[in-house]
Structure 1
Amino acid sequence: MTNLYFVRHAHSTYTPDELNRPLSEKGFSDATLVIRLLKTEGIDVVLSSPYKRAIQTVEGIAEYIHTNIGIIEGFKERTLTTVPSNDFAFAIAKVWEDYNFSWEGGESNVVAQERGIESTFKLLDYYKGKNVVIGTHGNIMVLIMNFFDRQFNFSFWQNLDMPDIYKLTFDGKVLRNVERIWGIN
């Protein structure tokens, strides 16, 4: 079995610079709890989205197991739109209602999900039998989970915490189990 530990990043300080948005003080505090929860899981590999907040959320577990963090572009957050949205709640609900719909310059659920699944399948081949931590983001994480089981949907995404950890256990490329390791609430 291969275990993928998807770690939704901790709370971040908002900036329009998606790539370099850092964790907030609360986010750094919560990231130390991520270490405590994952250090007993026998982690072999730590990977992350290229976004700073995702890297910062998992860098403690990488330090704990004395490894570097591999960067995987496919686990970056989905691009919702390149034009600022006046109503984020409406904009995000719309793409979840119609998986083929995309806003200007953005990714539809189908496109983002394909990107995430392609990266997931590559990891399952390359790290077969390993325990892999993946620092990522809420939307792309749920889209990946949704590919395997439709119960992981918009409503599920709305109830995620920052951070949140889901352990997905695979037999080859077949999802066998999903377990929530932790959430703030």
Structure 2
Amino acid sequence: MTKIYFVRHAKPDFKILDDLTRPLTDEGLKDSESLCELFKNKDINKVYSSPYKRAIDTVLPVAQMLNLEINIVEDFRERRICNKWLDDFDSFAKNQWKDFNYKIEDGECLLEVQQRNINALKSILRENNSNNIIIGTHGTALSTIINYYDVTFKYEHFERIKNIMPWVVMLEFDGENFVKFKYINN
């Protein structure tokens, strides 16, 4: 069995509008350190992450503790909304969850985000049979992965986890076949 521990990033500094370089707050950095306790006995073999600073910095303390390299996977990045800051995120998110093809010009729909993330996940599963893996990720990206394996995960669930940072979810696989998932913290 392969266990994938998806770690949604800790609390980011929203004063920094650039998605790629947005850092964690001091609280987020502290919360990232606390993940070491959670993972110290999980026999983690590899660590992957989205290329975004907040995702990398969230899994960095665990990777350092385990003396593991962080492998960056571009396709685990967060959804691209559009080329400017979006003021009414809640309405936008609700529309996207209502229609997985809904997007703003120059942005991605949830179906595109889901397909991109699932393809990256399946590639990792093929390369890492029977390993325990951490993947640093994002709320929307992770939510679309969960939705792929459990179609009952909808907007209401996304709303509930919106402010849980970091959020850890374990998905278990037999080869590429999904077995179960478990919320580790929520």
**Is the TM value for this pair above 0.5?**
yes
Unaligned runs of 5+ in 2: none
Counterparts of residues 12-161 of structure 1 (less than 5 Å): 12-14=12-14, 15-160=16-161, 161=164
C-alpha offsets along residues 53-79 of structure 1, whole Å, 9 cap, x if unaligned? 000100011011111100001111011
Unaligned runs of 5+ in 1: none
Partner-residue secondary structure (3-state), 2:87 = coil
C-alpha offsets along residues 62-120 of structure 1, whole Å, 9 cap, x if unaligned? 01111110000111101122233231111111111101111111101111111000001
Q: 1:173 aligns with which of 154, 172, 176?
A: 176
Identity across matched positions, percent: 36
* Equivalenced residues, count: 183
1:3 alignment partner in structure 2: 3
Deviates more, 1:108-117 or 1:171-180: 171-180
Retained in 1: the 8 A contact 2:17–2:85?
no
Partner-residue secondary structure (3-state), 1:166 = strand
Compared CA separation, residues 12 and 84, structure 1 to 2 (3 A): closer
| Shift of residue 148, structure 1, vs aligned partner | 1.0
Q: TM-score, normalised by structure 1?
A: 0.95
Q: TM-score, normalised by structure 2?
A: 0.95
- Quote the RMSD (CA, aligned, Å): 1.0
Distance 1:172 1:67 in 2: 23
| Shift of residue 155, structure 1, vs aligned partner | 1.4
Retained in 2: the 8 A contact 1:42–1:131?
yes
